[in-house]
Every structure is written in structure tokens, then in C-alpha cells.
Amino acid sequence: MFNKGTPGVDQITTCIYVDEILISADNEELIDEFITNFKKNYKDVTIKEGPIMDYLGMQLEHHRNGEIKISMKGYIDKIMTQWDAWNPKDLSEDLRKYATPMDTNLFNVDYNSPLLAEEKKEQFHSLVGTLIFMIKRARPDCLCPLAFLSGRVQAPTQQDWDKMRRLISFLKQTRERELIIRPTSMRLEAYMDASYGTHVDRKSHSGAVLTLAGAPYFCKSSRQKTVAKSSCEAEIIAMSDCCGWLIWSHQFLKEQGYNHLPKIKVWEDNESVIILIKKGKPASDASRHFEIRYFYVKDLIDREILEQEHLGTEEMTADVFSKGTTNEIFVKLSHKLMNSASDLS
């Protein structure tokens, strides 16, 4: 991403991905000038303008009220076509309708489940790669099962294929779902959660949602790299690992000309974690082993860059990234995440 000019005066921003460039500016004349100069050096240029445009497989639909809808329906259609080629009538004959892309046993591994044949293993691997491209851009509500399946590509089993099948079926049912960005403020917020000891190697799973003006711009669902000794430690690891993204985001907005930003608000559903970080030191023998690096969040609070606040688990958006949730919780939190109306009966 490159900026030219002075923020708030004549700044133009270009976002470049390989050979596709997304251009934005407050003044359309700046964009016209950029295109004119660009054409002098590159003759074969395709230009797309208007309220609806495609970028990196995403369809971006701009509305006059500032709302932007992001979808990848065409990409989902391609995935369905590929799936049908490999598994004729597999989904169409299944009358079950899933309210979630995974069940509550997502992280359970059945070691008695047979390994996939080589051809099906390659199909599984291909699907994971395709889904990563699409889900990370337009369907963050499906990120948690994808994170688990991404770790299974080396030796996928029939159980893993069934989990993939459920994810594909859910995407087919919710093809019309859109990620909606609505401008409300320039406040950065983060929702962070962790599922303690949920993997077979007893490592915990982190989930995080970073939002700007209430819309998610960064979502993470990943297995933690170290084994936490308590749910409190798992939560602190999740928070610590994502604070780097928050600080980067804060600095990025300043470079875009937003110099008077409010404190970053970090939502946490574990009150013990909030108390522990505010103290900035172990509260008891049970937390005396925590590494110092996990307490640098305290320094960010002292410097008034971020602030913590408690949020009940039933409202914790990051919950859909740290575990397989129940139908009711997932439906509620996923629509909050996507800013979308309910599209499932």
C-alpha cells in the first residue's frame, strides 16, 4: 500500500496485489490524474469504476451511505462445481441443513478413522488452499473449521473429509451471505478468546477479531504454539499474540491522517485475566511461571494506547474462532461478526 500527498488535502492511496491496484482518494480528480500518468507507462490497462467492482475475487458493493458489502459468491460457485465433479450429487442428495460450519466436537480426532486414498487426499489439500483464499477475505464466520482442517492436510482421514463436507455444505446454504462494513467511528476494538487445552497435544486454541468502526478487518483462529497451564494463561497468550496487530493498525491509521484516535478497546470475557494484566505481575503461585513477554499488554495500558473491558461470553464474538460452538451461539455471534441479517431459518 502506498500513499501520495498530504492526508486530508491531496492524498491518494493505492493498494497493490500483484497486477491489481485498488485506488482511493477524497477527490476524483486525483484518481483521474493517477490513471492518466499510469497509462503513459503501461499501455494495456483495464479500468473498472462504479459502485460495484471486483477486486481479488471479491465483489465490493458501495452504497451512498458509506456502507460496503463484500461477497465472493462466484468463488463459492467455483468451489461447488469442483466439489460436484469429485463427489457427484453428494450435497444435493443430503437433506440436512447445518446452522453451523462445524459441530462442538470440531477439535476431536478419531485415530481409528481410515486415512483418505491418495486421490482424495489431494482433493482435500486443494480444497483447503482454495477455501483459505476465499474465507480469509469474505467469510470469516467459517475461519475456525478451516483453521483445524488446515492442520490436517498431511494425513487427512475420513473424519476430516466429513468435517470438510459439512463446511462446504454450510457455504452452499449461505452463499448469499455478505460481510457488511458500516462506518460508525474510527475506533479500533479487539475481541479475544481462548479455548483451553482443546487439541490432542493439549495446546489451547486462540480466537481474535479486530474491528474498525465495528467491522472486522483481521480475524485469527489458530492453535497456540506453547502449552498453557491454565485457562487464564491461555487467554493471556491469545491477547499478547494479537496486540502486535493492534499496534500496527493504530500506526497505519495515523499514516492515513487520523491523528486523534481514541484508545484501542480490548474486550475480554475472563475477569481474572483483566485483573492479572492490570497488576502486571503474577497474582499467585499459580501464575508465577508466566513469561514476562505476556505482560507487555500492561505497558500498552499504562501508555494509554489501549484499555481493557469485560464482556460476557454470550457476546464474545471471538468465541466462534476458538471452539466449535452450539447452533444458537454461532448464529447469534456470526451475524454480529458479519453485520448481516439472519439468512438461516
The answer to whether residue 288 is domain-embedded is: yes
Claim to verify: residue 38 and residue 137 sit in the same structural domain: no
143, 241: one domain: no
Are 100 and 232 within one domain?
no
pLDDT digits (tens, 9 = 90+) for 1-38: 999 988 878 899 999 999 899 998 988 899 999 999 99
Give the count of domains, the chain: 3
Which amino acid, residue 207? Answer: G
Flag whether 123 is in a domain.
Answer: yes
CATH of the domain at 268: 3.30.420.10
314 in a structural domain:
yes
On whether residue 58 sits in a domain, the answer given is no
Domain shared by 192 and 325, yes or no: yes
Q: What is the pLDDT of residue 184?
A: 79
Query: 264-268 and 188-195 as β-strands: parallel, antiparallel, unpaired?
Result: parallel
144 DSSP 8-state letter: H
Q: Tell me: do 221 and 265 sit in the same domain.
A: yes
Please list the ranges in the chain whose pLDDT falls under 50: 343-345
**Does 217 share its domain with 137?**
no
Residues 161 and 200 in one domain: no
Residues 163 and 219 placed together within one structural domain of the fold = no
Q: Cell numbers at residue 91, please?
A: 450435497
Last residue of one domain, picked from the residues 173, 207, 237 = 173
**How long a stretch of residues is the chain?**
345
pLDDT digits (tens, 9 = 90+) for 167-212: 999 999 999 999 998 877 888 999 999 999 999 889 999 999 999 8
| Res 220: pLDDT | 93
> 264 near 306, Cβ under 8 Å?
yes
Burial of 320 (0-12, 13-18, 19+ CB in 10 A): buried
* Same domain, residue pair 216 and 154: no
Domain assignment of residue 30, given as a range: 2-47
Same domain, yes or no, for 157 and 191?
Answer: no
* In-domain check, residue 56: no
| Per-residue pLDDT at 255 | 87
163 and 193 belong to one structural domain: no
**What is the structure's pLDDT at 301?**
87
> In the prediction, which pLDDT does 345 show?
39
Does 201 reside within a domain? yes
Helix (H) or strand (E) holding 322: helix 319-322
- The pLDDT of residue 112 is 95
* Predicted structure pTM score: 0.87
The answer to whether position 66 is within a domain reads no
User: CA-CA distances (angstroms) from residue 249 to 110, 138, 305?
Assistant: 40, 19, 12
- Per-residue confidence (pLDDT) for residue 282, from 0 to 100: 59
10 and 131 together in one domain: no
Could you tell me if 263 and 305 are in contact, meaning their C-beta atoms sit under 8 angstroms apart?
yes
For the record, the C-alpha cell of 335 comes out as: 451475524
63 falls within a domain: no
Domain boundary among 173, 206, 241: 173
Domain endpoint, select from 151, 173, 195: 173
Instruction: Report the sign of the C-alpha dihedral through residues 30, 2, 179, 83, in that order.
Output: positive
